[in-house]
Amino acid sequence: MNKHDLIEQLSLVEHIEGGYFSETHRSQHIISSDREGNERNIFTSIYYLLTIDFLYALVFGSILLFD
């Protein structure tokens, strides 16, 4: 199995900050919050996958910034 198979099998989508994710559960229980919207689900569960491509970009991007 390669990363493309795993991404497809778990229905992962690209995350804006890098990697891939998919929400697997969202609690039906709601709590008050000071954040935008004033209410949040008490918890969510996700799959999150970082690939070697992202790690290379992170490491080499950092080296270029501090070289």
CB–CB of 25/44 below 8 Å?
yes
Residue pLDDT, tens place only, 38-52: 888 999 999 998 887
Q: Which residues of the chain have pLDDT under 50?
A: 64-67
What is the predicted pLDDT for the residue at 56?
64
What is the predicted pLDDT for the residue at 24?
95
Distance CA 30, CA 10 (A): 26
- Domain ranges for the chain, please list them: 3-66
What is the amino acid identity at position 33?
Answer: S
CATH number of 3-66: 2.60.120.10
pTM, rounded to two decimals:
0.66
